[in-house]
Amino acid sequence: MALVLGVSAVVSGSAGAAKAASAPVVKIVLLAETKGESSAAVPYYADGGAMAAAQLGSKVQLTRIPAPLTTAQAQTALLQAIDQKPDLIIGFPSSAQTIALQPTIKNSGIPFLSLSSGEQLVASGPYGAPNIILIRPVDTLVAVAETNYVLDTIKAKKIGLECVDNATGVNGCNAATKVIAAKKGASIFTQQKNGTADTDLTGQARAMSGADAVLDFNFPNPLGVMANALVANGVNVPHVDGSSASIIAGAKVVQGPAATNLNGADDCVPIASTDKRVKKWVADYTAKFGYAPIYSAAEVYDMVNFAAVIAAKQGSVTPKAILKGLTTQAYPGICNTYKADAIQVLSHSVDITKFDATGTVTIAKHLAFAPGALPFTVVTTVPTTSVAPTTTTKAP
């Protein structure tokens, strides 16, 4: 079922009332589930989009179509979206969805902002396309950053790898394996895998006993299962994952040692920001929806606003105009300042996160990637107390 969002116009921003009034309405379809639509669904994408649409009013028309993880159901959602002839599609939280349906996305010619960041989807990749733009930093770059954090900051030597059985796990574990192999004295203690819907990871947790750290590339639900299983089986070592960590911590799936053992990697951490504009947005979002936002809510909010800015500047919502805006315009959003690089990626940084016993998140380290970078290139480390890079590490 498609859900359409729209209210009366609210004119804001620096474009001015006259220009805003004359800008064409941009028609957007969001392909993502929300809480309650499946066991894997989270509310962030839908709520971030709904908040932006409500504020922008008649500047945008936002329709949300639930897109389950299974390829067949995701394809049905994509075809429904294409049938609506939107000016822009934002969608597919999983790289596996976008990779599987890339031919249909490419052939549609509709600008497609990917919520997932599989390296295969960059413009130069095997599943890239002129109309596919990645919102998030490339997943393998983030995986290298996580692995270097485990090796250089945590100083672990014996690494337990946990890999979800899809593109997230394959990309992450392949990148981590290369980094670990190049690090003197480091080794993979064990490598385990799990499915996206697994609810018992006792065997995988027990296999990690003896590892100095667990490096996990997982989906939120099984990550929560794994985090709790590690503690239940006496494996109290650092446990590092990606953006799924903030999802399970925010939902209080992990608390106590399962939370304090955990590190994550988010595109941004809105609730930890000291920026007045971001703090106000967090307060408004929390008041509206009853929970604090994470990176994915901020990114969808930003992309809906970015689309409206593009429509106003380009004066058109044709695919050519929208793509021109996405690939040439910069947009200072809540989560990041977005600017496409040569491989059509909009974001170029990640925050390594940590959690207290209640699951409250803070930033441990901020990392910035060179635009256009792919794995094993330069990664610049920036302390959270400074905007200026202070050290540079080179991935193997």
Residue 252 predicted with pLDDT over 60 = yes
Residue pLDDT, tens place only, 257-296: 999 999 999 999 999 999 999 999 999 999 999 999 999 9
Residue 14 predicted with pLDDT over 90 = no
Whether pTM exceeds 0.85:
yes
Average pLDDT, integer, range 181-200: 97
What's the rounded Cα separation, in Å, for the pair 85 and 111? 11
What's the rounded Cα separation, in Å, for the pair 205 and 188? 15
Residue 17 predicted with pLDDT over 80 = no
For residues 199 and 378, the model is more confident at 199
Rounded to 5, what percent of the chain is helix, strand, coil? Answer: 40, 20, 40
Percentage of the chain modeled with pLDDT above 90? 88
Q: Which of 20-24, 132-136, 352-356 has the lowest mean pLDDT?
A: 20-24
Question: Which amino acid, 63?
Answer: T
Task: Round the CA-based radius of gyration of the chain to a whole number and report it.
Answer: 20
Residue 396 predicted with pLDDT over 60 = no
Residue 391 predicted with pLDDT over 50 = no
CATH topology of domain 3-137+273-338: Rossmann fold (3.40.50)
Question: In terms of DSSP bridges, do strands 132-134 and 112-114 run parallel, antiparallel, or are they unpaired?
Answer: parallel
Residue 134's nearest CA partner among 85, 98, 86, 110 is: 98
The pLDDT score that the predictor gives to residue 22 is: 74
Residue 37: phi and psi, rounded to 5, are -85, -20
Domain with CATH 3.40.50.2300 in the chain: 3-137+273-338, 140-266
Class of domain 140-266: alpha beta
The pLDDT score that the predictor gives to residue 377 is: 53
The pLDDT score that the predictor gives to residue 376 is: 67
- List b or e across 14-46, with b for residues whose CB sees 16 or more CB atoms inside 10 angstroms: ebeeeebeebbbbbbbbbbbbeebbebbbbbbb
Residue 13 predicted with pLDDT over 90 = no
Question: Looking at beta carbons, which pairs linking 70-77 to residues 24 or more positions away fall under 8 Å?
Answer: 71/96, 71/97, 71/100, 71/101, 74/31, 74/100, 74/101, 75/100, 75/101, 75/104, 77/31
Average pLDDT, integer, range 353-372: 96
The pLDDT score that the predictor gives to residue 186 is: 98
Residue pLDDT, tens place only, 46-103: 999 999 999 999 999 999 999 999 999 999 999 999 999 999 999 999 999 999 999 9
Residue 200 predicted with pLDDT over 70 = yes
Contacts (Cβ under 8 Å, ≥6 apart) of 332: none
Residue pLDDT, tens place only, 204-247: 999 999 999 999 999 999 999 999 999 999 999 999 999 999 99
Please provide the DSSP assignment of 175-244 as one string: HHHHHHHHSTT-EEEEEEEE-TT----HHHHHHTTT-SEEEEE--HHHHHHHHHHHHHTT--S-EE-STH
The pLDDT score that the predictor gives to residue 138 is: 97
